[in-house]
């Protein structure tokens, strides 16, 4: 399904070469290097071999006929969804005390597991994302903290990946990320109501946010082109678990960006937590996933 195999000592130059092959491929259909450069929105160069581009219908149809092309499909919008609490997994506390037989203890609170969340970003100042008592970031982590103009801070507990800012102005990403890996926060309440201790399913895990959902366009916020870019980077960054709380309509696997991204993650042994229902509409970008020929 259009995979990349770079080996352990991969360099940025290798990624650049893959991107250049994508530009040359598009150029053969649109007619000039400049048009090809302007057409390509993303080149997936690390684990997924493909690209997202703005194309005319005739150009996309011609590309789909190429013998090395797996699939060409519209960039579809996904809607945000929300999961339930951890009660059903016996991850609750009794009056702030964790029972000795709790899954929290058996799983070591998810200690040093790196969980990636694809969503609207995160509000990093939330107590749920405190790194108090945590040691250094695991050495296998290749990701970076992309500081931005909003003063977005990163610590030993969290990082971020985004084109602009990973700050969460919508709230959904902070909610889902804290549900997965939020630290213990005693005395949490909503306007003085519901006092208790807030906690995620893996409160000692490291969390990384990949912002794939942006201000609404025709009622959709999360598009396949951005989601596949996040999959490609998160696999490269060395995450252990991927979490997505967004969904779309049922479709063929070869025409589904979520399925393609999940396939490549699974190949690397990365499980996917997907909270999703089936409803969405389409947009105008095309995702082209092509075979890698070595």
In this structure, the answer to whether residues 69 and 94 fall within a common structural domain is no
In this structure, the answer to whether residues 140 and 253 fall within a common structural domain is yes
Q: What residues make up the domain containing 37?
A: 12-76
In this structure, the answer to whether residues 52 and 146 fall within a common structural domain is no
3-state SS, one letter per residue, for 176-195: HHHHHHCCCEEEEEECCEEE
In this structure, the answer to whether residues 63 and 88 fall within a common structural domain is no
pLDDT category, 219, cuts 50, 70, 90?
A: low
For 98, other C-beta atoms within 10 Å of its C-beta total 17
Within a domain: residue 19? yes
Within a domain: residue 22? yes
Looking up residue 66, the CATH number of its domain turns out to be 3.30.70
Helices (H) and strands (E) counted in the chain, each on its own, are 7, 14
The residue out of 60, 76, 92 marking a domain boundary is 76
User: What whole-number distance in Å separates Cα of residue 182 and Cα of residue 228?
Assistant: 25
In this structure, the answer to whether residues 118 and 152 fall within a common structural domain is yes
The alpha carbon dihedral of 177, 247, 290, 285 has a sign of: negative
Tell me the pairing of strands 114-119 and 206-211. parallel
- Give the pair of three-digit tokens for residue 32: 């000039």
- Give the pair of three-digit tokens for residue 136: 């250094």
In this structure, the answer to whether residues 92 and 66 fall within a common structural domain is no
In this structure, the answer to whether residues 49 and 154 fall within a common structural domain is no
Q: What is the pLDDT of residues 164-206, one digit of tens each?
A: 678 888 888 998 898 888 888 888 877 877 787 787 888 889 9
Within a domain: residue 288? no
- Number of domains, the chain: 2
In this structure, the answer to whether residues 50 and 111 fall within a common structural domain is no
Mean pLDDT (whole number) for 233-243: 93
In this structure, the answer to whether residues 35 and 93 fall within a common structural domain is no
Percent composition of the chain: helix, strand, coil (DSSP 3-state, to 5): 30, 30, 45
In this structure, the answer to whether residues 223 and 117 fall within a common structural domain is yes
CA distances from 139 to 142, 204, 232 (A): 8, 16, 20
User: What whole-number distance in Å separates Cα of residue 92 and Cα of residue 287?
Assistant: 42
pLDDT of residue 155: 84
Looking up residue 167, the CATH number of its domain turns out to be 3.40.50.200
Contacts for 57 with CB less than 8 Å, ≥ 6 apart: none
Q: Is the pLDDT of residue 57 over 80?
A: yes
User: What whole-number distance in Å separates Cα of residue 261 and Cα of residue 236?
Assistant: 12
In this structure, the answer to whether residues 147 and 122 fall within a common structural domain is yes
Which of 75, 72, 54 lies closest to 280 in space, CA to CA? Answer: 75
Within a domain: residue 4? no
Q: What is the pLDDT of residues 92-127, one digit of tens each?
A: 666 667 777 777 777 777 788 999 999 999 998 999
Within a domain: residue 293? no
For 236, other C-beta atoms within 10 Å of its C-beta total 19
Which of the listed ranges 151-155, 158-162, 284-288 does the model predict with the highest average pLDDT?
Answer: 151-155
In this structure, the answer to whether residues 30 and 119 fall within a common structural domain is no
């Amino acid at each position: 399904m259009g995979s990349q195999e770079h080996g352990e000592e991969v360099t940025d130059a290798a990624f650049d070469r893959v991107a250049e092959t994508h530009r040359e491929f598009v150029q053969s259909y649109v007619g000039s290097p400049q048009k090809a450069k302007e057409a390509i929105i993303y080149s997936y160069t690390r684990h997924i071999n493909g690209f997202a581009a703005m194309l005319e219908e005739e150009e996309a149809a011609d590309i789909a006929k190429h013998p090395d092309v797996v699939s060409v499909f519209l960039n579809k919008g996904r809607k945000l969804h929300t999961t339930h609490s951890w009660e059903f997994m016996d991850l609750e506390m009794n009056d702030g005390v964790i029972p000795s037989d709790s899954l929290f203890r058996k799983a070591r609170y998810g200690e040093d597991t790196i969980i990636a969340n694809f969503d609207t970003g995160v509000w990093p100042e939330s107590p749920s994302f405190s790194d108090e008592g945590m040691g250094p970031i695991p050495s296998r982590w290749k990701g970076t903290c992309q500081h931005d103009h909003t003063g977005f801070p990163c610590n030993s507990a969290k990082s971020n990946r985004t084109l602009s800012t990973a700050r969460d102005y919508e709230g959904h990403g902070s909610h889902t990320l804290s549900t997965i890996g939020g630290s213990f926060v005693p005395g949490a309440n909503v306007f003085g109501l519901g006092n208790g201790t807030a906690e995620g399913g893996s409160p000692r895990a490291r969390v990384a946010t990949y912002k794939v959902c942006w201000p609404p366009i025709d009622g959709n916020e999360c598009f396949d082109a951005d989601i596949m870019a996040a999959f490609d980077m998160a696999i490269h960054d060395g995450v252990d678990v991927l979490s997505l709380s967004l969904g779309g309509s049922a479709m063929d696997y070869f025409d589904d960006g979520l399925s393609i991204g999940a396939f490549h993650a699974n190949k690397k042994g990365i499980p996917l937590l997907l909270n999703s229902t089936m409803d969405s509409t389409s947009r105008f970008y095309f995702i082209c996933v092509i075979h890698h020929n070595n």
